[in-house]
Amino acid sequence: MGELSREEMKNTLRVLVATDCHLGYLEKDEIRRHDSFKAFEEICSIAEQKQVDFLLLGGDLFHENKPSRSTLVKAIEILRRHCLNDKPVQFQVVSDQTINFPNTFGHVNYEDPHFNVGLPVFSIHGNHDDPAGVDNLSAVDILSACNLVNYFGKMVLGGSGVGQITLCPILIRKGSTSVALYGLGNIRDERLNRMFQTPHAVQWMRPEAQEGCQVTDWFNILVLHQNRVKANPKNAINEHFLPRFLDFIVWGHEHECLVDPLEVPGMGFHITQPGSSVATSLIDGESKPKHVLLLEIKGNQYRPTKIPLTSVRPFEYTEIVLKDEPDIDSNDQNSIIEHLDKVVQNLIEKSSKRVVNRSELKLPLVRIKVDYSGFMTINPQRFGQKYVGKVANPQDILIFSKASRKGRNEVKIDDSERLRPEELNQQNIEALVAENNLKMEILPVNDLDVALHNFVNKDDKMAFYSCVQYNLEETRNKIAHDADSLKFEEEDLILKVGECLEDRVKERNIHSKNDTDFGSKSSTAVGSAVSFSDDEDTVKASGSKSTRGRKVSSSAAEDTSTKTSTRGRGRGRGRGSSSSLKQTTLDAALGFRQSQRSATAAVQSTVNTDAMNSASSGEPRENEVEEINDSSENDESLPSKGRKRTAPRGRGRGSTQSKRGRKSDNSLVKRTFVGRDNGDDSEDEDNARKLLNKSQPRVTRNYGALRR
């Protein structure tokens, strides 16, 4: 603090940057249960000691998607101790806060008159604590509701196909320094990768140029939480996808500490990767010393200062190859154990020498990767029993691996994936369908894939129910939208459902696969709170979205400006003379919500009309739903060859018996006209001939091939 004069302090924004705190990691382990909380407490203490303006977190604040009550209580206690005080906040948020913080309150936490916030905390979500469920809530939303954390970067996926997102920055001003803070919470890497490569799928909002403050005067910071380095480029985000107007990027999710900012060649911005504050994977990258970054910004210049974390448990890692050790006999297991004991003892002594504060001596983490090619293995658990009370992980000190013939690079990749179970290449429903040459006839395979992902990884017990409910409502809305309420007759219901199902499958084939995401979009289906990215109603609603303002696409990232009016909030927090610096075109999201409500109302009115017509024809609503399902099965089973299906039993009028094993093309026509009067036989035959003569399109989907 003494290095900066008082005049420089008024114009210098000081930010402490940290990522991947993983609060609650191993909370049931008696030795390591408090490690994540001690590291987070030290981070908050450093923020107080350095008198920073705010603390910036880059995702994965919690380790679990649904943290335990104990974890939540400890996190709230730490934030209350360090964030609530009488220290004045020296910066102002001059953008439209209802867009930056889309919660019930809609403003930054330190402006709440009921709280004295001296240390604001800004955070995005990661892949561990991402939003889930019907209400699309994250564990960070709990801290935001408690007014302890400013939660930003929560995207609303709009549009069709791969989707569309709009990044609106938080405009911060302190003296003569202006900072535009962009946040992008975790999105599946495969999807975000395709979004960056799709024109206009990622929109960047820029501040509007004003007198005395041009667009180039803003220091642009991006905080994101994605894979950075990966063997498969589709499962990571390339730095060259990002726009060139950015100045500084905080990259979360990668646990290796690379805190020193590095410039990306040809892009003009610098990237810092603070890494995790607690070791969650016993690999070489996590054994490096942990740091946080103090970022001082003045104008368009910044000064980074890395600060080491002293409360982190020491971690020692090494690799040995048994065949390279001369004192080991391949036929003598005792010689292998003796050599490994010497290595462990050396690592324990090495970690004890690094300890600065002897009063807080902690048991170290020790990991030895052993290449046992040509040798026999030993039991790792039995080997670690002698080190209980000496190391923090006696059960997994050793990990054995074999050198691959193709090279040792593959071994490293396999080992790192085995140590990080959240990044395993899990087999999804789409792959299972492709392997067994199956054909999904009722529910789309990508919807089931997302439902399974939410059910397993996010513990969403309503995932499959929401998937079925959505597809049912989508079919109803499609029929109600296309049918003429005056000419819609009861006997045409089955044929109409078949045509509707074919149209839906065709439209889904046009769109990209795996673009559905539960809880990440607003719903337009009637009676369902979950929607998907390829919803026809959502496409119509987003089509009426206002496009006013200034946007920069991810492909071009050019500077284009359009002046529009911005929303006033009437509270006057931090506005005054800075009101002209408000961000442009932030009414687009509001226009989308209004158009969405109108679209939903239109669908509801159409469904009500359809329900009245069905009631007047004397047919119960339940039978109508069953006929929809029956016709959809039969209609899609017609084009397939070499398969036999059991025709479902309909409970509507006219279905008196079930026919099993029938594979005739006339089955659908016969079922349609069963139960009609004999006087209409000639008309029925003409309609049947017309239906059979009409070429039925074959609906096929290639689920095995990867995306091009």
| Distance in angstroms (rounded) separating the CA atoms of residues 320 and 318 | 7
Residue 157 — very low, low, confident or very high, per pLDDT cuts 50/70/90?
Answer: confident
Mean pLDDT of the chain: 75
Indicate the DSSP class of residue 441. Answer: S
Least confident of 107-111, 367-371, 466-470, 666-670: 666-670
Under a CB-based contact definition with an 8 Å cutoff, are residues 155 and 184 in contact? yes
Task: State residue 57's pLDDT score.
Answer: 98
Question: β-pairing, 365-371 with 398-401?
Answer: parallel
Task: State residue 449's pLDDT score.
Answer: 78
Q: What is the 3-state secondary structure (H, E, C) of 115-154?
A: CCECCCEEECCCCCCCCECCCCECHHHHHHHCCCCEECCC
| Distance in angstroms (rounded) separating the CA atoms of residues 13 and 687 | 77
Q: Where are the alpha helices (DSSP H) in 319-444?
A: 333-354, 380-384, 409-419, 429-435
How does 567-587 read in b/e, with b if 16+ C-beta sit within 10 Å? eeeeeebbbeebeebbbbbbb
pLDDT at position 561 over 60: no
| Each residue's pLDDT tens digit, 64-101 | 999 999 999 999 999 999 999 999 999 999 999 999 99
**Could you tell me how many residues make up the chain?**
708
Distance, first Cα to last Cα, the chain: 54
In the block, tokens 């209580």 appear at 73
Q: Is 107 helix (H, G, I), strand (E, B) or coil?
A: coil
Task: Indicate the burial class of 7 (C-beta count within 10 angstroms; 0-12, 13-18, 19 or more).
Answer: exposed
Residue 453 — very low, low, confident or very high, per pLDDT cuts 50/70/90?
Answer: confident
Least confident of 8-12, 173-177, 317-321, 580-584: 580-584
For 537, other C-beta atoms within 10 Å of its C-beta total 22
Q: Which phi and psi angles does 439 have, rounded to 5°?
A: -135, 120
Which residue would you say has higher pLDDT here, 602 or 129? 129
Beta bridge partners of 298: 301
Alpha carbon distances (Å) from 124 to 190, 272, 581: 19, 16, 24
For 78, other C-beta atoms within 10 Å of its C-beta total 19
Indicate the DSSP class of residue 278. Answer: S
| Each residue's pLDDT tens digit, 397-415 | 999 998 766 554 444 444 4
| Each residue's pLDDT tens digit, 195-234 | 999 999 999 999 998 888 899 999 999 999 999 977 788 8
Please pick, among 128, 225, 253, 291, the residue that the annotation labels catalytic.
128
**In the chain, % of residues over pLDDT 90:** 47
Under a CB-based contact definition with an 8 Å cutoff, are residues 518 and 466 in contact? yes
In the block, tokens 């279905």 appear at 655
Task: State residue 433's pLDDT score.
Answer: 62
Name the CA dihedral angle for 432, 438, 441, 446, rounded to a multiple of 10 degrees.
30
| Distance in angstroms (rounded) separating the CA atoms of residues 317 and 284 | 6
Question: β-pairing, 270-273 with 258-263?
Answer: antiparallel
Q: Where are the alpha helices (DSSP H) in 116-170?
A: 139-145
AA identity, residue 80: R
Indicate the DSSP class of residue 190. Answer: H
Residue 457 — very low, low, confident or very high, per pLDDT cuts 50/70/90?
Answer: confident
Under a CB-based contact definition with an 8 Å cutoff, are residues 174 and 10 in contact? yes
Taking residues 92-119, report their average pLDDT: 94
**In the chain, % of residues over pLDDT 70:** 61
* Token representation of residue 316: 């020692």
Taking residues 608-617, report their average pLDDT: 46
pLDDT at position 469 over 70: yes
pLDDT at position 478 over 90: no
pLDDT at position 654 over 70: no
Under a CB-based contact definition with an 8 Å cutoff, are residues 167 and 102 in contact? no
Task: Indicate the burial class of 35 (C-beta count within 10 angstroms; 0-12, 13-18, 19 or more).
Answer: buried
Least confident of 61-65, 242-246, 512-516: 512-516
AA identity, residue 150: N
Catalytic (active site) residue 128: yes
| Distance in angstroms (rounded) separating the CA atoms of residues 20 and 277 | 6
Give whichever of 133-142, 422-431, 655-664 has the largest mean pLDDT.
133-142
Task: State residue 509's pLDDT score.
Answer: 59
Task: Indicate the burial class of 321 (C-beta count within 10 angstroms; 0-12, 13-18, 19 or more).
Answer: middle
Question: β-pairing, 121-123 with 177-184?
Answer: unpaired
Taking residues 663-678, report their average pLDDT: 42
Indicate the DSSP class of residue 398. Answer: E
pLDDT at position 669 over 70: no
In the block, tokens 């939480």 appear at 225
AA identity, residue 34: H
Which residue would you say has higher pLDDT here, 614 or 340? 340
Q: Is 248 helix (H, G, I), strand (E, B) or coil?
A: strand
pLDDT at position 698 over 90: no
AA identity, residue 263: E
| Each residue's pLDDT tens digit, 494-544 | 666 666 666 766 666 555 444 445 444 333 333 333 333 334 333 333 333
Under a CB-based contact definition with an 8 Å cutoff, are residues 378 and 392 in contact? no
pLDDT at position 181 over 60: yes
pLDDT at position 573 over 60: no
Which residue would you say has higher pLDDT here, 134 or 460? 134
Under a CB-based contact definition with an 8 Å cutoff, are residues 18 and 301 in contact? no
Residue 594 — very low, low, confident or very high, per pLDDT cuts 50/70/90?
Answer: very low
Alpha carbon distances (Å) from 444 to 447, 508, 513, 525, 701: 5, 8, 10, 17, 10
Task: State residue 646's pLDDT score.
Answer: 46
Beta bridge partners of 367: 317
Which residue, 319, 354, 314, is CA-closest to 340?
319
* Token representation of residue 112: 């709440």
